[in-house]
Structure 1
Amino acid sequence: MRSHKGNEKGMTLVEILAALVILGIVFIGFMTIFPQMTNFNEKTESKLTAMNEARVHLDNFKNSSYSIDYFTSENGYVEKNGSWIRTEESGIGEVEYKIEKQPALPAGDAEGELSLHGIIISIQKDSKVISETFGYIEVGK
């Protein structure tokens, strides 16, 4: 009689089942990451969109000329806490423009000189600020 104990070249059923269980646990661990990554990517995309929209609004303000007389209730502005404030609806949410009444850099005495006023543009969704940017705009007398 021969002994087959030294000639084992295959895997037993128990070893295969143990390997499948371990692979299943690893696979389930990876599968829980993907929905979290998708959720994170969606939040990042909406935040980037809001940031870009706020910058576009700021550029529109910078590329236009204004006088002190523009910031009135007729144009949708309200005076509050030393600022002119206007809100409007946007595709992303509610956009709030807040222009400081007191100039950061007052105009000189020469004719046509402009003063620089600080502006804060915030985008809110569901009463929560999702993006905010600030800059300065030129305002005439």
Structure 2
Amino acid sequence: MNKNSLNQEGFTLLEVLLSIVLLTIILTSFLGFFTQSAIFNKKNEQKLDTMQTAQTIINLIEINIEKQDLIILNLIDANGIVLNKPKSLNKLELEQYLGEPISSDYTISALMDNSSFIINNTAENLIMFKVIVQNPADSNDKSETYTYIRR
């Protein structure tokens, strides 16, 4: 008598295909999560970079610019009032006033104003510097920071 025994070990084609389909569905859902995380991290990194650049400019302004410098540069009068207010400064003007180059690929501008510091008809002794750092590649990616100089 001839014994024909069938080998029942291993997976069937249906089981293999079903496992591949399930694995694909699971990996696709995780892949979307990872791509969104990468995009979010990139946006956060760009935002933090603009904030850090703005803070660096603020520190340079606080260290290098005093009331006497602003009078000599004809930006304010002897009373500390900003001439041609609000006075807008671009990156080249800022470098000139700070006395050192600003190494950044971002668009940098500053705004000087003290007209907003009038409270009860008396002017406060502050000159506001508003620094705006913007990514030229993405107009939504910008950071604004303020500092004040005493008159």
Secondary structure at the counterpart of residue 117 of structure 2: coil
1:74-105 superposed Cα distances (whole Å, 9 cap, x missing partner): xxxxx65x212111165131111111143738
Which consecutive unaligned segments of at least 5 residues does structure 2 have? Answer: 1-7, 76-82, 93-102
Which runs of no fewer than 5 residues in structure 1 stay unpaired? 1-7, 74-78, 108-114
Paired residues for 1:42-61 under 5 Å: 42-61=42-61
**1:125 paired residue number:** 135
Q: TM-score, normalised by structure 1?
A: 0.66
Structure 2 matches for 1:10-25, cutoff 5 A? 12-25=12-25
Q: Return the alpha-carbon distance in structure 2 between the equivalents of residues 124 and 30 of structure 1.
A: 33
Change beyond 3 A, Cα 1:103–1:12: closer
Is the helix fraction higher in 1 or 2? 2
For 1:87 and 1:72, how far apart are their aligned partners in 2? 16
Question: Which of 111, 134, 137 lines up with 2:146 in the alignment?
Answer: 134
Which one-letter code corresponds to 2:71 in the other structure? D
CA contact (8 A) 1:71 1:84 kept: no
Q: Aligned partners of 1:103, 1:24: CA distance in 2, in Å? A: 60
Cα RMSD (Å): 3.1
Q: Would you say how many aligned residue pairs link Structure 1 and Structure 2?
A: 120
What's the CA shift string for 1:21-57, capped at 9, x where partnerless? Answer: 1111111222233333222212211110110110111
Percent identity among equivalent residues?
23
